[in-house]
Every structure is written in structure tokens, then in C-alpha cells.
Amino acid sequence: MQNKNRELIHEVADILENEELIPEGKVYLGFEKLVQDMIFAFLSAMFPAFYGKDRHISRERNLEKANDLLRDALLFVLEDEQKVEENVKILFDKLPEVYRVIKTDIQAAYEGDPAAKGFEEVILSYPAFKAICIYRIAHELYNMQVPLLPRVMTEYAHRITGIDIHPGATIGEYFFIDHGTGVVVGETTTIGHHVKLYQHVTLGAKSFAVQEDGTLVKGLKRHPDIGNHVVIYSGATILGGETSIGDHCVVGGNVWLTSSLPAGETVTIRVE
């Protein structure tokens, strides 16, 4: 029986080898854990009073660790080491601005939720804080056209928070997601400043363009544009690349929208 099993195992191994999905020699062992450690290092560098293993480790030391882990992660997805170094430098040049914008998100959470008793509560307990922090860093890498890494980062955030923000989405300052569970923000979504979403909001695609061979057309604008000072309540679904929600709009709970709203509108019924 053991010999038969060995033969079967050998046969199955050959089949799997022939069906391999990624190029020969490409290995991602340890990549997922590395990305998680990198995210934690960035959080520790930006918020050393809240993240990290030792309060005596300096912010500079945490930044050095984040720098090294980012370089290691980029080496998994980029073949050109010079490009790796360039991207590390670009992200670190942008990091002070990313940190400034994240602080506006913390402010928005504190001011937008009467249950929030202080910034500490937002940073330590709000799932939106982690999801938005990770998105903000991943978005910079996405804009640098770094493959794979930004998506792995935001899907890790999705896993731990229930909030799914594609790194390609463009999101303004003072962004707040209250409660957060089930929120989906698609790749080509744009969101203005001072926008507040509640749980189970979907900013998604209405339909997908298809090529003659049946494969999806990629790279098109598929998701809505949300203006400034917009509130979207729980369960609302807004779909389509041509759908635009104007400034100061309010979209009620469970509303279904596939058409645009002018500035200042309040919608509390089903609109198609």
C-alpha cells in the first residue's frame, strides 16, 4: 500500500507541476507575513505610543525597520533592484504627508462619532483607523505602479477589519468609516474631503465591459465619484463609473443608486 501511495503521490506531483500558475522559479514563501510585519512597522513608526513591542525604541529605529521590510517586500515583486531603491525613497519622501492626512482621518472619527472619547480610543479600537492607515500607504505604492504589494496590504486590512478598500481608490482628507463592517470601496472610486460612510456601504461597479473572447476589459472607470461633505448611511449601494454624488449630499440607509445626485440632495428611497 505504501509503494502504491508513493506512485500515486509522484503522479499527482507531476500533474500539479504541469499546472503551475506562476512562472517557474517565482516564489512567494514568507511574503504575506513579511507584508504584515512591514505594516506593523509603519504603524509603530507613525504611532509609537500605541504600536510596537518596546516603548523605548525610537521612532527613527521603527522607521529603519519599516524601510528594511519595505525593501524586502519590494524585492518579491520587482526584479530591478534600482527600482526597488527608488520606490523606497519615494514612499519615505511621501510618508510625512501620508501621516498628516491620517491625522485628519483620526480627527474626523473623533468629531464624527459622539461615542469617541478621545484620539486614543480611535487609534486603538476603531477598525476604520487601521483600514484607512494601511490604505493610505498602499495607495502611494499603487500610484507608483508597484505590482501585487498594495493589494496584499489592503486585503490584509480587509481580513482584520472587515473593510475592503482597493488601493487604487482616491480618497480625500478627513475620511471616516463608522462601525465599518462590510464596507467596499472599488478601485476607481474617488471620494472627496470630509466624507463619512457607515457599515455595509458599497461603492462598486454597475457592470463590466467584456471583450469578444469573454474576458473582462480592465483599466476602465467602473466605480462612482463621491463629492465633499457627503454622508452615506448603512447598507447603501452606489454603483457605476458614471455615477457622481455631489457635495453635501446625504444618501440614506439601504438606498440603491445607479444615477448621479446633484449637490445638496438627500435621498432616502430606492433610486435607479
pLDDT recorded at residue 138:
98
**Domain range spanning residue 271?**
182-272
Reading the chain (272 residues) residue by residue, the pLDDT tens digits are: 456 688 888 888 888 878 777 776 788 999 999 999 999 999 999 999 999 877 777 889 999 999 999 999 999 999 899 999 999 999 999 999 999 999 999 999 999 999 999 999 999 999 999 999 999 999 999 999 999 999 999 999 999 999 999 999 999 999 999 999 999 999 999 999 999 999 999 999 997 777 777 787 788 999 999 999 999 999 999 999 999 999 999 999 999 999 999 999 999 975 55
pLDDT recorded at residue 3:
67
pLDDT recorded at residue 255:
96
Amino acid in position 186: G
In this structure, are 23 and 157 located in the same domain? yes
In this structure, are 27 and 149 located in the same domain? yes
pLDDT recorded at residue 271:
52
In this structure, are 32 and 150 located in the same domain? yes
pLDDT recorded at residue 235:
97
Q: What is the DSSP string of the chain?
A: -HHHHHHHHHHHHHHHHHT--S-TT---TTHHHHHHHHHHHHHHHH-TTTSSS-TTS-HHHHHHHHHHHHHHHHHHH-S-HHHHHHHHHHHHHHHHHHHHHHHHHHHHHHHH-TT---HHHHHHH-HHHHHHHHHHHHHHHHHTT--SHHHHHHHHHHHHHS-EE-TT-EE-SS-EESS-TT-EE-TT-EE-SS-EE-TT-EEE-S---B-TTSPBPPSS--S-EE-SS-EE-TT-EEE-TT-EE-TT-EE-TT-EE-S-B-TT-EE-S---
In this structure, are 132 and 195 located in the same domain? no
CA nearest 163: which of 185, 196, 190? 185
| Interatomic CA distance for residues 108 and 227, integer angstroms | 16
Q: Which of 162, 194, 211 delimits the end of a domain?
A: 162
In this structure, are 132 and 200 located in the same domain? no
In this structure, are 88 and 43 located in the same domain? yes
Is 169 part of a structural domain of the chain? Answer: no
Q: Chain-centre distance of CA 101, in angstroms?
A: 15
In this structure, are 187 and 82 located in the same domain? no
In this structure, are 229 and 257 located in the same domain? yes
Number of domains composing the chain: 2
In this structure, are 45 and 145 located in the same domain? yes
Is 36 part of a structural domain of the chain? Answer: yes
In this structure, are 129 and 194 located in the same domain? no
pLDDT recorded at residue 205:
95
In this structure, are 156 and 207 located in the same domain? no
What's the CATH number where 74 sits?
1.10.3130.10
Kindly report the pTM of this predicted structure: 0.92
Is 4 part of a structural domain of the chain? Answer: no
What's the CATH number where 187 sits?
2.160.10.10
In this structure, are 196 and 153 located in the same domain? no
* 19 to 13, 15, 23, 86, 244: CA distances (angstroms): 10, 6, 11, 35, 44
Q: Which of 130, 162, 194 delimits the end of a domain?
A: 162
